[in-house]
C-alpha cells in the first residue's frame, strides 16, 4: 500500500451577497468590559460585560443580542455555540474571541480551531466563515485573513490515510469552507487569503510526512514524496543515493546509515526565484525516518514516536513547497539527509570513529546521538553553497523537550543580525520560539578523546546546547546560522494548540517561510 498525501480542504473566498443554503455559518463575537464606580461608594468599581457582534445581517445580530441577554452567548475565548437548523438563523456557529482588548491573530487561530474541531465531531461537510464579523478587531485586515485561512487548513487536517474505507473511524470530513468577506475583491485581502491557504497546506504536508509510520516513510519514500509534491511547482528535486553520498565524502552521515537495510538518501530541493547572483537561503532538516537508537538502543516505551524523527526534514520540505508556491523572490536550497538509525549487523559500534565531509574525525560514543552526525555533513555541504544564511530544524535532543516542553521551540544562533530576523519572522508566523545559549564552554564539552570531536558531551547538563555546539563545528565560519531543536514541539501539541490534532504539528514551516520572505 502506497501512501498518498491527503486532499487539502477546499477553501474559497467570496463576496457577502451570495446565498449559502444548508451551510453552517460561522460568526465571531467578542466582549467588552466596562468599569464604572458605583454610585454609593466612589471607591467600589462594578464591571459590566457587553457582547460585541458586527459584520452580519440584522437578523443574526438581533439573535446574538437576545441570546447574550440570557447569557447563552458570552463572547469568551474557547466559547463555541452551535445552533443546528435554528429558527430564523439556520445552521449557525458562534465563536468567542474573548476580551476585545486582547484579540490578536493567535486568539483568532485558536478560536477557529475550536470551531473546526466541533464541526468535525458533528460530521459537518461545509461551512462559511463571516470574515466581516472579526475584521473590525484587527488593524491589519490582511493579517487576520492570513491567520484565519492557515488555521482553517491546519484545524481540518486529519491523518486517516491508513484507515480502510470500511473503518468506522474514517470520519466524514469538513471538506469545503467559504470565507465570506465584503472586501473579497481587495488585492491585499485576496493575496492574504492565498498565502494563508498555502501556509496551512504546507504545514499539513509536513504533518502528513511526520504522521506516516516508519515502514511507509522510508528514506526512499520520503525522497519520492518530495518529488511528488514538487510536481507542478518550480522546485527542482535531486535524490542522491549511497554511491553519490560516498562520492561526496559524507562519512558521518554514512556511519549512521550503515546499520539499516534501507538505503539512505540526500534529498535536495532547489528553488530559483531571483537572479542567480543572489545568495540563497539554505535549509537543512533532520530526516531520520526511524530512530531506534542503534546499538545504544532506546528503551521500548514510546519508541514508536521515533517515526517523527524526520519532522525537521519534513518542515524544510513543507517550507520549500510554500516558498515555491508563493513564487517568493529568493533563491532557496534545502538539504534533507534521510536515513534510519538501526542496530543491524553492520551498525556503528560505540567508540567507532568516522571522518566527516569537512575532514573532522568524530568519535561516536553513543549511537543514539545520530541526528548531529547526519546534519554535520549536510551543514558542511550547505556552507559550501556560499549561502546568505543556513537554518536547520531537527528533533535533536530529548533535553530540549525537558527544558521547554511542547510550547516553545528552542533555537540557537550566535549571529545577532540573524537573531533579529528570526524574532521578526516568528512574530509574523505566531510560532513560539525561545533563544537558548550556545557558547565556547559548550564547544569544550564535545571535544573528542581519540578523535577531534565526540558526539556525546563530556558533561551531564545542557544536552541541547552541546548538540548545537557540535553542529556549529560543521558550519562555515562566515555563514550566519541558526539551529532549531523541535524535539518538544514537532508533535503532541494538541493540548496546547487547538488548531492542531494529535500527531505531527508542522512546526517551523511558517516561520521558515517568513524568514525567506524577509530575504526576498
Ligand atoms: N531523536 C532523538 C531526540 C529525541 C528524543 C527527540 C526524544 C524527541 C524525543 C535523538 O536522536 C536522540 O536520541 N538524542 C539523544 C542524545 C544523547 C544520546 C546525547 C537524547 O536526547 O537522549
Ligand atoms: Zn537518537
Ligand atoms: Zn534522532
Task: Tell me the per-residue pLDDT of 265-323, one tens digit each, with 9 for 90 and over.
Answer: 999 999 999 999 999 999 999 999 999 999 999 999 999 999 999 999 999 999 999 99
Query: Can you say whether the dihedral through the CA atoms of 494, 500, 502, 504 is positive or negative?
Result: negative
d(CA 361, CA 451): 5
Mutation test of ligand 1: which of 210, 375, 397 has the most ligand atoms closer than 8 Å to its C-beta? 397
Q: Which atom of ligand 1 is nearest to the CA of 341?
A: 11
CB-based contacts of 437: which residues, under 8 Å, 6+ apart?
A: 412, 462, 465
Ligand 1 centroid distance, CA of 425 (Å): 27
Ligand 3 centroid distance, CA of 370 (Å): 6
The environment of the single-atom ion ligand 3, i.e. residues with CB closer than 5 A, is 288, 291, 309, 371
Cβ atoms 57, 125 nearer than 8 A: no
Cα separation values, 227 from 8, 139, 231, 316, 424, Å: 18, 40, 7, 14, 31
Is the pTM above the cut of 0.85? yes
d(CA 343, CA 413): 33
d(CA 110, CA 275): 39
Dihedral in degrees, nearest 10, Cα atoms 302, 366, 406, 421: -150
| pLDDT of amino acid 493 | 93
Mutation test of ligand 1: which of 368, 372, 409 has the most ligand atoms closer than 8 Å to its C-beta? 368
Ligand 3 centroid distance, CA of 399 (Å): 12
Active-site annotation, residues:
298, 372
Confidence of residue 205 (pLDDT cuts 50, 70, 90): very high
Nearest CA to 482 out of 312, 299, 323 is that of: 312
C-alpha cell at 180: 465570506
Ligand 2 centroid distance, CA of 237 (Å): 27
Q: Is the predicted pLDDT of residue 171 greater than 80, yes or no?
A: no
C-alpha cell at 317: 520540505
267 three-class SS:
strand
Q: Which atom of ligand 1 is nearest to the CA of 395?
A: 6
Average the pLDDT over 411-438 and give the result: 97
Amino acid at each position: 500500500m502506497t501512501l498518498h498525501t491527503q486532499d487539502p480542504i477546499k477553501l474559497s473566498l467570496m463576496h457577502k451577497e451570495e446565498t449559502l443554503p444548508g451551510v453552517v455559518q460561522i460568526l465571531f463575537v467578542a466582549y467588552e468590559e466596562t468599569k464604572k464606580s458605583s454610585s454609593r461608594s466612589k471607591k467600589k468599581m462594578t464591571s459590566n460585560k457587553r457582547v460585541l457582534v458586527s459584520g452580519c445581517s440584522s437578523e443574526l445580530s438581533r439573535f446574538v443580542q437576545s441570546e447574550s441577554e440570557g447569557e447563552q452567548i458570552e463572547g469568551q475565548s474557547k466559547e463555541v455555540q452551535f445552533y443546528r437548523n435554528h429558527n430564523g438563523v439556520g445552521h449557525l456557529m458562534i465563536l468567542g474571541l474573548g476580551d476585545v482588548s486582547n484579540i490578536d491573530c493567535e486568539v483568532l487561530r485558536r478560536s477557529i480551531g475550536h470551531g473546526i474541531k466541533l464541526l468535525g465531531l458533528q460530521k459537518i461537510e461545509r461551512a462559511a466563515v463571516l470574515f466581516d464579523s472579526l475584521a473590525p478587531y484587527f488593524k491589519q485586515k490582511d493579517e487576520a485573513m492570513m491567520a484565519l485561512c492557515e488555521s482553517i487548513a491546519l484545524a481540518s487536517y486529519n491523518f486517516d490515510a491508513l484507515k480502510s474505507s470500511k473503518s468506522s473511524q474514517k470520519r466524514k470530513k469538513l471538506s469545503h469552507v467559504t470565507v465570506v468577506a465584503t472586501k473579497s475583491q481587495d488585492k491585499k485581502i485576496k493575496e492574504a487569503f492565498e498565502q494563508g491557504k498555502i501556509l496551512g497546506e504546507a504545514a499539513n504536508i509536513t504533518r502528513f510526512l511526520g504522521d506516516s509510520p516508519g515502514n511507509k516513510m522510508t528514506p526512499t519514500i520520503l525522497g519520492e514524496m518530495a518529488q511528488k509534491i514538487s510536481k507542478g511547482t518550480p522546485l527542482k528535486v535531486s535524490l542522491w543515493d549511497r554511491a553519490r553520498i560516498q562520492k561526496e565524502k559524507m562519512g558521518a552521515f554514512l556511519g549512521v546509515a550503515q546499520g539499516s537495510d534501507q538505503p539512505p538518501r540526500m534529498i535536495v530541493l532547489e528553488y530559483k526565484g531571483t537572479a542567480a547572483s543572489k545568495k540563497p537561503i539554505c535549509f537543512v532538516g533532520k530526516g531520520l525516518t526511524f530512530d531506534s537508537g542503534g546499538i545504544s538502543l532506546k528503551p521500548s516505551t514510546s519508541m514508536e514516536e521515533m517515526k517523527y524523527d524526520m519532522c525537521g526534514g519534513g518542515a524544510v520540505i513543507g517550507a520549500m513547497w510554500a516558498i515555491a508556491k508563493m513564487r517568493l523572490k529568493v533563491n532557496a536550497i534545502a538539504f534533507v539527509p534521510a536515513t534510519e538509525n538501526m542496530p543491524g549487523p553492520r551498525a556503528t559500534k560505540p567508540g567507532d570513529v568516522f571522518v566527516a565531509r569537512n575532514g573532522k574525525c568524530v568519535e561516536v560514543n553513543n549511537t543514539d546521538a545520530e541526528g548531529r552526525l547526519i546534519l554535520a555533513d549536510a551543514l558542511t555541504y550547505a556552507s559550501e553553497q556560499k549561502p546568505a544564511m543556513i537554518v536547520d530544524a531537527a528533533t535533536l535532543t530529548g533535553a530540549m523537550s525537558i527544558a521547554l516542553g511542547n510550547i516553545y521551540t528552542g533555537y540557537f544562533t550566535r549571529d545577532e543580525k540573524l537573531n533579529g530576523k528570526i524574532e521578526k519572522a516568528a512574530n509574523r508566523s505566531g510560532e513560539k520560539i525561545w533563544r537558548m545559549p550556545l557558547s565556547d564552554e559548550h564547544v569544550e564539552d564535545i571535544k573528542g578523546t581519540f578523535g577531534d570531536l565526540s558526539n556525546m558531551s563530556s558533561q551531564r547538563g545542557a544536552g541541547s546546547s552541546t548538540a548545537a555546539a557540535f553542529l556549529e563545528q560543521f558550519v562555515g565560519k562566515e555563514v550566519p546560522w541558526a539551529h532549531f531543536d523541535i524535539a518538544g514541539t514537532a508533535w503532541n501539541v494538541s493540548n496546547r494548540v487547538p488548531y492542531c490534532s494529535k500527531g505531527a504539528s508542522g512546526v517551523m514551516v511558517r516561520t521558515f517561510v517568513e524568514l525567506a520572505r524577509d530575504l526576498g
